[in-house]
Amino acid sequence: MEIKIKKASLKKRKAKPTDESQLGFGKIFTDHFFNIKYKEGRGWYDPIIEPYRPLELDPTAMCLHYGQEIFEGLKAYRGEGGAIFLFRPEENIKRMAASAERMCMPPMDAEIFLEALKKLVILEKDWIPHGAGTSLYIRPTMIATEPALGVHPASEYLFFIVVGPVGAYYPQGFSPTKIFVSEEYVRATRGGTGNVKAAINYASSLFASRIATNKGYTQVLWLDAIEHKYVEEVGTSNIFFFIGDELITPPLAGTILPGVTRDSVIKLAGYLGTTVVERPISIQEVISASENGALKEAFASGTAAIVSPVGQLYFHNKEYLINGGKTGPLAEKLYNEILQIQYGMKKDPFGWRVKIRNGKKAKKG
Ligand SMILES: *Cc1c(COP(=O)(O)O)cnc(C)c1O
């Protein structure tokens, strides 16, 4: 299947942002987007990259009523001489197929998916910012478009990819977060959809987030839904605790999202000589480790920030400072290593980097 490309006329193209320090996250999108349709019995058809535009949906499009929406998040990075890299895109493609399966949606063809990613990013290459830590965020999305009421797996879907420049997550250096442990509200339960990137998980997380923000905290630390005892995730990121000389993270047991960054942190930390353990860890164990001094660091992991140090926990009406509220050396090391792999500044021992455009070598002498 050939991806058609219909370019926006030059006079309709948007002005590119001039101040990269003001990019922020998720506010600016480029001139084009990719989309492809699906109909039961016909499969995926009409793949196209075309001028960015609003979607046209029937008011009864099923995604609007029953939440049939899944998405992904990854980035394209600008390297030396204009080289462009993706980071482990095949992991996002696989994860989206797993999300589709769980939501009774058709999996997107993996080859078209990867080709669409590459073609769209290369077409929009001038939108990739240049500053350290900046990138082009990529948002693949699938929605049920069948116009019908009544809950059932839909027979029609739209898959699309939008991209937009995003700023450096830490323009002024790391800023450790203050985290609110949610003892009342939960994110996902066993047998639910916590391990898939589906819109429904995020809508239901907002209430607890608002409670946390109103109390002055950045994010929610989610506990398991059954006993409210085991740590699961922080906000929309995975969580790590460095206790004694072990880096501990909750296992993938169906309720947490299998983060690509989580997997990269586990592999890289092990490669760099840190013992990494995937096992259930209770909030009480974290608190006890904080009280007896064994808790050295805590940090979240995700595509947006790579690693986000946790400086403080709020649990049971008490505040616990972690590493004096400062970024720890392990978090900083992992952040730098992954970032340098992503931007092509360092050798890539795991073959994670996918170069989609060659850079020009700087002339010597
Ligand atoms: C996307 C996401 C993550 C992080 O996944 P990455 O692939 O590392 O970006 C973690 N938790 C939740 C709930 C997420 O939605």
pLDDT digits 0-9 by tens, 297-324:
999 999 999 999 999 999 999 999 999 9
Q: What is the pLDDT of residues 87-145, one digit of tens each?
A: 999 999 999 999 999 999 999 999 999 999 999 999 999 999 999 999 999 999 999 99
Q: Which domains does the chain carry?
A: 4-166 (3.30.470.10), 177-342 (3.20.10.10)
Q: What is the pLDDT of residues 249-302, one digit of tens each?
A: 999 999 999 999 999 999 999 999 999 999 999 999 999 999 999 999 999 999
> Residue 170: its pLDDT value, please?
82
- Residue 115 is given by DSSP the state H
Nearest atom in ligand 1 to the alpha carbon of residue 73 is: 9
User: Could you give the angle at which helices 110-123 and 89-102 cross, rounded to 10 degrees?
Assistant: 130
Query: 342: helix, coil or strand?
Result: helix
Say if ligand 1 is within 6 A of residue 306 CB. no
Say if ligand 1 is within 6 A of residue 260 CB. yes
Say if ligand 1 is within 6 A of residue 99 CB. no
Q: Cα(178)–Cα(219) distance, rounded to whole angstroms? A: 7
365 pLDDT tier (thresholds 50, 70, 90): low
Q: Does 234 have pLDDT greater than 60?
A: yes
> Residue 364: its pLDDT value, please?
63
Best residue among 303, 306, 338, 352 to mutate for probing ligand 1's pocket (most ligand atoms within 8 Å of CB) is: 303
Say if ligand 1 is within 6 A of residue 133 CB. no
Say if ligand 1 is within 6 A of residue 259 CB. yes
Average pLDDT of the chain to the nearest whole number: 96
Q: What is the pLDDT of residues 21-37, one digit of tens each?
A: 999 999 999 999 999 99
Q: What is the pLDDT of residues 149-206, one digit of tens each?
A: 999 999 999 999 999 999 988 877 788 999 999 999 999 999 999 999 999 999 999 9
CB atoms within 10 A of CB 148: 16
Burial category of 159 from C-beta neighbours within 10 Å (exposed 0-12, middle 13-18, buried 19 and up) = buried
Q: Which single residue is written with the structure tokens 């994110």? A: 187
**Nearest alpha carbon to residue 342 among 20, 119, 79, 24:** 79
Q: 167-191 burial string, b = 16+ CB within 10 Å, else e?
A: bbbbeeebebbbbbbbeebbbbeee
Decide: 76 and 86 in contact? Cβ < 8 Å: yes
